[in-house]
Structure 1
């Protein structure tokens, strides 16, 4: 083969180089024949890598910073790489009780978000601090699911609070005991069921020792074949909800109950129960953190057929002594009785405290309170019919307990309400640690009244917190008082459209009672308010609110004094 023909083969072979790694030369001899050296194939060079820049975050205080696009999410210090030119939105989320005071580094100001463009490595700081004290009412929030009712609340000196309520659940549906605790800086805990009994819960009571934060919850529950039993659980400010315990093993049904607690967590419960024969009697039991509940014991010995001892109230001094008051009635007359126990729980002999003086005299419901020094105060409703008159005088009366004894005389709170009918609601009484007191009650004309008393002194003139009106009061007042005798009272009242609204008013020594303020803005039923206030004036208000979509729920609002 000639060189020319061989060259022609080279051209053909060269055309195939795109498919073959090498191509051989001519098959025949001749000086022009030979092989084409192997030729390697190389992929195209990759594009240059995209540039990235690092974003570093530093956090002071309690809060979280996240980003969009994702990459940043931390509560202390973190970093992430983002492509050059990316716009990153940082969002600050303060922990409960905290606020964002400022951004730093590549961000500034204190808006909840900040946008940075990643054209270079950047650093950003976020500083969170404790939120300033809220002065006035905060927003209402729901604590429970639908089907909740009858909330009770308490608050301690540090602002820790608890709320307990009845919650319908199960099949068949019955009322269970549920609760939530408020921890400053963290907010309200997730609601939880507090007992595991099969029957329904009826009444609930709560007591708290404000300085220590120790509390006790007391309730009656249909937990045996004989009827309602009495249960309780302790609440520790650090450990939370304790275990439920049965306080009595009697066969008779339990009526009303009351509970108090001292600074060491020792509690005393007093209740009415059918027994030991066929009438309602007054029983007591004592709890210690070390030993739990003791045995139920009678604290009165009345066994007159036809008479009933009921509606007990008990208070416990910080040092552990307790005082109980209850009503004894026989169908035609009623009187108030009392007993007291020392710090070890040993009761004395029951004695009559406020006697019935005749047919022109009737004793109504009562309330009992105690201060830090162990001085107690009793308030009760009473109606009297002066001789030769058809005008009943309805009023609240009071009596003091100090130095281990009740004063001999009774005194009236303000002027009586005079009418041809006698009607007075249960007075609601609260005392602060120093002994100043506030009492509030409803009258026949739908006025809501209140009066205050300095420590150890008589009550001043009663004042109308809510003036007489055609719309009826729909609840008892809920009352709280602080160490300066600033007070709050909350109540439900009819609104003319067949439901009820919730109102509250505030009292100061300088200005008296302020204008009532609506606490919710719906046309649905708001009722069953309860209120607790600590010594610096911070308060918790809870109530039962109907909502068309879910039924009745427990709502809460908190009041900040700014102190």
Structure 2
């Protein structure tokens, strides 16, 4: 018996919705998606006098009205957001107190946002804050702050109720910028940043062991400039960092991985001979990572890391028109969604592709044509459902928009077999097809047919088995199984050819 099995997954996208109000410009959207599919988005928007940090939350099907997080009277800018497994979120930004820029946070408890709280110290400017939240609601925030001579990377830990006193993470004596941070499930964190070594900028990293920050280590080689660090941390504390470094002619994406004890030597991820920019990285629950970046040729590219080795480079956007500043989100089982902005020849649109079973999908547009869209950000839940936010002009002002997807993979473990009747006088056969529902939260129905057009549906079932009676012995048959989503839309198709 020979079985030929193929599967085609799909993400069905909602229409875009406006999150910010019209009438004033909004910018720099960010989004965090919980494992349960809820999400929180933040951005900054002018109120006519100042820039105010705003937020909206997503319950899995609809967005809340936007609310102000930062107080009026001074500018609040550059918000970031993280979220735990139950949908509680923490937003962070910097805001002037009239003298200095201070890092502030607000916490969403599932119902409302808290009054902003200062977590950096007054007296000198702090900015470029980032936050990572673990499944239990603990968080690590990092930022850069002047000590009067240099900019130092600082951090504060949130234990679910209070923020710790800020601690210096980078060493004094030289400027450090652009910190990024990730957390595991046990209260540990990993931060990376760029720091001047007297000749050029190098990438450094440090580990928070649950009580204190360890001495920073230099991850990139000296002698050429490195920048744009990013880091992703898995639930066990393994981490993958990426950045770009000049080789004297081009900027190359490089990486180092942390195994819970030591950092590996830096290695090239992107190809030599052409510059690459804006790297991002995500990681699953088993230390498998995906890096994504923009090549100088205008193509979004990616490579995968299996815990020890990086794959060859793969183009994931289409040639012809440039793709810019790709972003990526990876869930625990390794399903990933990438987004970027790309010209359609008239305006820039938001495009997306997903990674599933070691394969990238064909890109699709998720923003509407007719006006420019930019700055996409993406998150993904446990079931593979993504949420994307971006900025788009309405013809007068820039508005924050969002769309969500329902991940509908093809059925898993598709099997087929032929059996005889119990009575030898019955010479026909029964073909049995079985499968597994890969995402029960998303897929609620299956259709079975013998042709891919599903012109004649053999059955519609919520179960995972179909028996096709009165089949001839030793005659091959192909069966197609279509997943139907909870929104009623068609999903992925799996098919199997049975050759008895």
Q: If the length of structure 2 is used for normalisation, what is the TM-score?
A: 0.75
Q: Deviations over 1:15-58 (max 9, x none)?
A: xxxxxxxxxxxxxxxxxxxxxxxxxxxxxxxxxxxxxxxxxxxx
Give the alignment partner of residue 57 of structure 2, picking from 178, 181, 199: 181
Larger RCO (CA within 8 A; separation ≥ 6): 2
Q: How far has the Cα of 1:379 moved from its partner?
A: 0.9
Cα 1:509/1:415, change in 2 over 3 Å: farther
Number of the residue aligned with 1:515: 362
Check whether the contact 1:414–1:460 (CA below 8 A) recurs between aligned residues.
no
Check whether the contact 1:313–1:324 (CA below 8 A) recurs between aligned residues.
yes
Check whether the contact 2:39–2:83 (CA below 8 A) recurs between aligned residues.
no
How far apart in 2 are the matches of 1:459 and 1:355?
19
Number of the residue aligned with 1:308: 175
Worse-matched range after superposition: 314-323 or 479-488: 479-488
Give the alignment partner of residue 231 of structure 1, picking from 104, 110, 124: 104
Q: How far has the Cα of 1:331 moved from its partner?
A: 7.0
How far apart in 2 are the matches of 1:556 and 1:467?
23
Q: How far has the Cα of 1:414 moved from its partner?
A: 4.7
Number of the residue aligned with 1:377: 240
Q: Deviations over 1:265-294 (max 9, x none)?
A: 22221111111x32111111122223x222
Check whether the contact 1:398–1:412 (CA below 8 A) recurs between aligned residues.
yes
Q: Deviations over 1:226-260 (max 9, x none)?
A: 23211112233x34423311011232222322212
Q: How far has the Cα of 1:472 moved from its partner?
A: 4.0
How far apart in 2 are the matches of 1:443 and 1:426?
9
Number of the residue aligned with 2:21: 145
Give the alignment partner of residue 146 of structure 2, picking from 274, 280, 305: 274
How far apart in 1 are the matches of 2:367 and 2:209?
45
How far apart in 1 are the matches of 2:56 and 2:252?
38
Give the alignment partner of residue 74 of structure 2, picking from 172, 191, 199: 199
Cα 1:521/1:301, change in 2 over 3 Å: closer
Cα 1:429/1:371, change in 2 over 3 Å: same
How far apart in 2 are the matches of 1:375 and 1:215?
24
Give the alignment partner of residue 555 of structure 1, picking from 395, 401, 407: 401
Q: How far has the Cα of 1:560 moved from its partner?
A: 0.4
How far apart in 1 are the matches of 2:171 and 2:43?
34
Q: Deviations over 1:487-516 (max 9, x none)?
A: 22111123433x422211222225x22222
Check whether the contact 1:481–1:535 (CA below 8 A) recurs between aligned residues.
no
Tell me which structure has the larger Cα radius of gyration.
1
Pairwise mapping of residues 152-171 of structure 1 onto structure 2 (< 5 A)? 152-170=30-48
Pairwise mapping of residues 355-366 of structure 1 onto structure 2 (< 5 A)? 355-356=221-222, 358=223, 361-366=224-229
How far apart in 1 are the matches of 2:203 and 2:367?
38
Check whether the contact 2:100–2:122 (CA below 8 A) recurs between aligned residues.
no
Pairwise CA RMSD: 2.1
Number of the residue aligned with 1:462: 313
Check whether the contact 1:326–1:336 (CA below 8 A) recurs between aligned residues.
yes
Check whether the contact 2:37–2:381 (CA below 8 A) recurs between aligned residues.
yes
How far apart in 1 are the matches of 2:303 and 2:240?
14
How many residue pairs match? The answer is 398
Cα 1:401/1:207, change in 2 over 3 Å: same
Check whether the contact 2:219–2:263 (CA below 8 A) recurs between aligned residues.
no
How far apart in 2 are the matches of 1:483 and 1:336?
27
How far apart in 1 are the matches of 2:304 and 2:113?
35
Q: If the length of structure 1 is used for normalisation, what is the TM-score?
A: 0.67
Structure 2's unaligned 5+ residue stretches are: 1-9, 409-438, 440-500
- Corresponding position: 1:412 with 2:255: no
Number of the residue aligned with 1:481: 330
- Corresponding position: 1:341 with 2:196: no
Number of the residue aligned with 1:283: 154
Pairwise mapping of residues 38-437 of structure 1 onto structure 2 (< 5 A)? 135-146=11-22, 147-170=25-48, 172=49, 174-184=50-60, 187-209=62-84, 211-221=85-95, 223-236=96-109, 238-275=110-147, 277-290=148-161, 292-303=162-173, 307-329=174-196, 332-344=199-211, 346-356=212-222, 358=223, 361-385=224-248, 392-403=249-260, 405-416=261-272, 418-419=273-274, 423-437=275-289
How far apart in 1 are the matches of 2:121 and 2:37?
36
